[in-house]
Amino acid sequence: MDIKKTILWAVFSLSGLMLYNNWQVHEGKPSMFGGAPVVATTSTNAVATSKGDVPAQITSKATGISAPVESAGPIETAEKFVLQNDVLVLEISASGANVIDAKLLKSLTAEQKPIELFQYTPSHKYFARSGLISLNKGDLPNHTSNFKLIQSGKDGSGRPFLVLASESGDARLEKTFILNPGSYVVDVGHRVTQGTNNPNPLVLYTEIVRDGMQEQKIGPFDGAFSASTFTGPAAYTNKEKFNKLEFTAIDKNKITIPTQVPAGDPAWIAMVQHYFASAWIPGDKFARDIYAGKIDNGLYRIGLQTPLGLVAPGSVVVERAQLFVGPQEEKVLETIAPGFELLKDYGYLTIIAKPIFWLLEKIHVYVGNWGWSIILLTILIKLVFFPLSTASYKSMARMKEVQPRLMAMKEQYKGDPQKLNQAMMEMYRKEKINPLGGCFPVLIQIPVFISLYWVLLSSVEMRGAPWILWIHDLSIPDPYYILPVIMAVSMFVQTKLNPTPPDPIQAKVVMYMPIVFSIMFFFFPAGLVLYWVVNNLLSIAQQWQINQMFGKKEAK
C-alpha cells in the first residue's frame, strides 16, 4: 500500500470537508467545528408553561405552587424612562418596569450608530423583565403591571439611578436600577413590602425574552460567519456548568437544565448571540429555580425564580441582582461572575483557544494593532514548532534527493505495486527517511488552526479591527480577496519545493490542492487568512534554506 497516497487523499478529504463546512456556514447552517448545544431528554421541571405571559411557578422543593392569573400592560404606549452611563443607554418602560431597549455606545454599526441589543419593535423583540408571583395572588406586581417613577438622579457615588414602584394585591414592589461608570452591568434591586394579614409565599422571577431570530443583521462588521455562532438561551450553575439551549430543542420540549440551585451556589441565565449577550445574575442568599420555554406569541424566554418565602405584614425583603447587557469581551466577562467568560464560545477546542487568545491579547497590549498581533503570534507559534518543522523539511529534502531512484524503481517494477512498495520501504530504511515526516507539521497545526478560527470568529475585539490598507475589519473576509490569492501562490511555491510524487494521481492532487484551499479561504475571516499566509511564508523560507543546505551537500 502506498502510504503517501493515503496521506495525500486524507489531506484532500479534510480540505473537502472544511470546504463543505464553510458552504454550510455560508448557507446559514451551524458550523461542524463549533461546540454543540446541550440537547437531552425532556425535563418536566425545566420548562415553565403558562397560558399567559406571566411565568408559572415551578413545582420544586423551592416553590411547589402553581400559576397566577395574568394581568395586562401595553408596553408600546407606556411611558419610558432613560438611564445612561458612558457605555450604555437603557430604556425602561412604565409597563412592568421592563428594560426594553439597550444601546451599546462603544459598539457601532456601519452607519456609526450604537448597536441596539435590546429592542421592542414589531420586527424584533428582545428585553429583560421581572415581577412577583404567588399562589392565588395573580394581581401581584409583575412585568405587566403599571409602575410609577418614585425617584431618579445620581446617588452619593455619582451613579445614575431610577426607582419605579407598583402596588397590587396588598404587596408593593420597588425596582431600583443603578448604572456604574464604564460598566455594562446594571445593579437591580427588588424591594418587596407585604401589606396583607394573610400572606402567601412570594416568588421573584427575573427573565430574558427574545424572539427566535437566529441572526440579527446590525451591520457588515458582523461578517459572513455570524450565522455559524450560537444564538439562544444559556444557563450556568456550579454543578452543571454552562448549558446552551437551542430554540428548536425548546420547541420540542427536549431540554434538560438544572431546575434548583441551592443557596450559596453561583448561577446565572443568559441570552447569547454573535459577539453580544445579556444575562441575569441573581444574589445567592436564596435557593433559585431555572426555567426556559416558549411563549404563545412566538417569543422564547429563560429565567430564574427566587422564592422569598412568607413575608410578614409590614416587613420588607430586598433581593439584589445584576443585569448584564453588552459585548463578550473576555477580560470583562471574567470579572463579573463565576463561569461568565463561557459566554464567549470557542467550541470543542477551548483548552487551546483560550491560551491563544490570552497570548494574542498580551501582544496587542504592546503593538496596538490586531493584524500585527496576529503576525507576531504566527511567528511565535512557528518558533514553537520550529524543531519539528525542521526535521520534517529535512525529511522532505531527503525525499527530493532520492526522487530519481524512486522514478527508476517505478519503471523497474511497473505493473507490480507490491514489489514497488517493498523496494521503496527498503530504500527508506537504508537511507533513514521517514515518508510520513512531511505530514506531521500540518497535522499538528490543524487543532491550532481551528482554535484560532474560533478565536477570530468569537472575539468581539476583532469586530471592526483594521490592519493596513484595504483590510478594515479582520473579522470578515478580505473584500478584494488579495490575501486568499497570496495564500494560493504561497501554497503553489511550497509544492514546488517539495519532491514531486511518483504517482500521477498524487501529483495531480498536490497540484490542485492550492486551488482548493484558496477557494476555501475566500470565505474565511481576513485575520485567519493572514495567519496562514504568514505561516506559509515562514515555512517557505525555512524549507528553502534546508533545500539549499542539502543541495550544497549533494554538489560536494
> Does residue 114 lie within any of the structural domains?
yes
Mean pLDDT of 17-44: 44
CA distance 100 to 147: 14
Among residues 163, 175, 129, 143, the alpha carbon closest in space to that of 269 is found at: 129
pLDDT computed for residue 205 by the predictor = 93
Q: What is the rounded distance in angstroms from the CA atom of residue 539 to the CA atom of residue 490?
A: 9
Residue 343 lies in a domain: no
- CATH number, domain of 298, equals 2.70.98.90
Query: Within this chain, do residues 319 and 427 fall inside the same structural domain, yes or no?
Result: no
Q: How many alpha carbons lie under 13 Å from residue 51 in its C-beta half-sphere?
A: 6
Residues 85 and 149 in one domain: yes
C-alpha cell at 442: 500540518
Residue 122, pLDDT > 60, answer yes
As a whole number of angstroms, the distance between CA 148 and CA 92 comes to 11
Contact, 376 vs 369, CB < 8 A?
no
In this structure, is residue 333 part of a structural domain? Answer: no
- Check whether residue 124 and residue 191 sit in a common domain: yes
Query: Does one domain contain both 291 and 360?
Result: no
For the segment 524-556, what is each residue's pLDDT rounded down to a tens digit?
Answer: 788 888 888 888 888 787 777 766 665 555 555
Domain count, the chain: 2
- Give the predicted TM-score (pTM) of the model: 0.76
Same domain membership, residue 192 and residue 318: yes
Q: Name the E strands within 311-345.
A: 316-327
The answer to whether the CB of 208 falls within 8 A of the CB of 279 is: yes
Helix, strand, or coil here: 104?
Answer: strand
Q: What pLDDT is stored for residue 441 in this prediction?
A: 61
Q: What is the pLDDT of residues 132-188, one digit of tens each?
A: 988 665 678 889 889 999 998 888 888 999 999 998 867 889 999 999 999 999 999
- Nearest CA-CA partner of 183 in 322, 301, 67, 77: 322
319 and 380 together in one domain:
no
Query: Same structural domain for residues 358 and 320?
Result: no
Q: Over the chain, what is the mean pLDDT?
A: 75
Residue 373: inside a domain: yes
Q: Do 16 and 165 fall within a single domain?
A: no
Residues 314 and 390 in one domain: no
pLDDT at 68 over 70: no
Question: What is the C-alpha separation between 323 and 207, in angstroms, rounded?
Answer: 10
Residue recorded with cell 464553510: 22
Whether residue 230 lies inside any domain: the answer is no
In a domain, 348, yes or no: no
Assigned domain for 208 exists: yes
> Where in the sequence is the domain holding 100, given as residue range(s)?
80-218+286-327
Give which of 210, 300, 207 is closest to 250, Cα–Cα: 300
Residue 66 Ramachandran class (φ > 0 left, ψ -120 to 50 alpha, else beta): beta
What is the per-residue pLDDT for 133? 87
Residues in the chain: 556
Say if 137 falls within a structural domain. Answer: yes
Domain co-membership, 468 together with 398 = yes
Claim to verify: residue 308 and residue 405 sit in the same structural domain = no
Q: Check whether 72 has a pLDDT greater than 50.
A: no
Q: d(Cα 26, Cα 177) in Å, to the nearest integer?
A: 41
Query: Does 210 lie in the same domain as 156?
Result: yes
Q: Which helix (H) or strand (E) holds 199?
A: none
Going through 295-432 in order, the beta strands assigned E by DSSP cover 299-310, 316-327
